[in-house]
Chains A and B, each alone.
Chain A
Amino acid sequence: DAGVIQSPRHEVTEMGQEVTLRCKPISGHNSLFWYRQTMMRGLELLIYFNNNVPIDDSGMPEDRFSAKMPNASFSTLKIQPSEPRDSAVYFCASNSLAGLDTQYFGPGTRLTVL
Chain B
Amino acid sequence: AQRVTQPEKLLSVFKGAPVELKCNYSYSGSPELFWYVQYSRQRLQLLLRHISRESIKGFTADLNKGETSFHLKKPFAQEEDSAMYYCALSVATDKLIFGTGTRLQVFP
CB distance from A53 to the nearest CB of B (A): 12
- Contact partner of B43 (CB less than 8 A), chosen from A42, A102, A106, is A106
Q: Give Cα A44 to B101, complex, Å.
A: 11
- Contact partner of B95 (CB less than 8 A), chosen from A3, A41, A48, A108, is A48
Whether B94 pairs with A101 at a CB distance below 8 angstroms is: yes
Contact with A along B68-108 (1 / 0, CB 8 A): 00000000000000000010001011111111110000000
Complex: chain B residue closest to A94, CB-CB: B94
Q: Which B residues have a C-beta under 8 Å from some C-beta of A?
A: 6, 32, 34, 43-46, 49, 51, 86, 90, 92-101
Whether B99 pairs with A42 at a CB distance below 8 angstroms is: yes
Whether A101 pairs with B100 at a CB distance below 8 angstroms is: no
Whether B86 pairs with A101 at a CB distance below 8 angstroms is: no
Q: Give Cα A102 to B47, complex, Å.
A: 10
Whether B94 pairs with A48 at a CB distance below 8 angstroms is: yes
Whether A42 pairs with B46 at a CB distance below 8 angstroms is: no
27 A-B contacts, Cβ less than 8 Å apart?
A: A4-B43, A31-B94, A33-B94, A42-B86, A42-B101, A43-B86, A43-B100, A44-B98, A45-B95, A45-B97, A48-B94, A48-B95, A55-B94, A56-B92, A93-B44, A95-B94, A100-B49, A100-B51, A101-B34, A101-B49, A101-B96, A103-B46, A103-B96, A104-B45, A105-B44, A105-B45, A106-B43
Whether A42 pairs with B94 at a CB distance below 8 angstroms is: no
Scoring B32, B86, B92, B98 by chain A CB atoms within 10 A of each residue's CB, the highest score goes to: B98
Q: Which residues from 1 to 56 on chain A have a C-beta closer than 8 Å to any C-beta of chain B?
A: 3-4, 31, 33, 35, 40-45, 48, 50, 55-56
Complex: chain B residue closest to A3, CB-CB: B43
Q: Give Cα A109 to B34, complex, Å.
A: 24
- Contact partner of A101 (CB less than 8 A), chosen from B6, B43, B90, B98, is B90
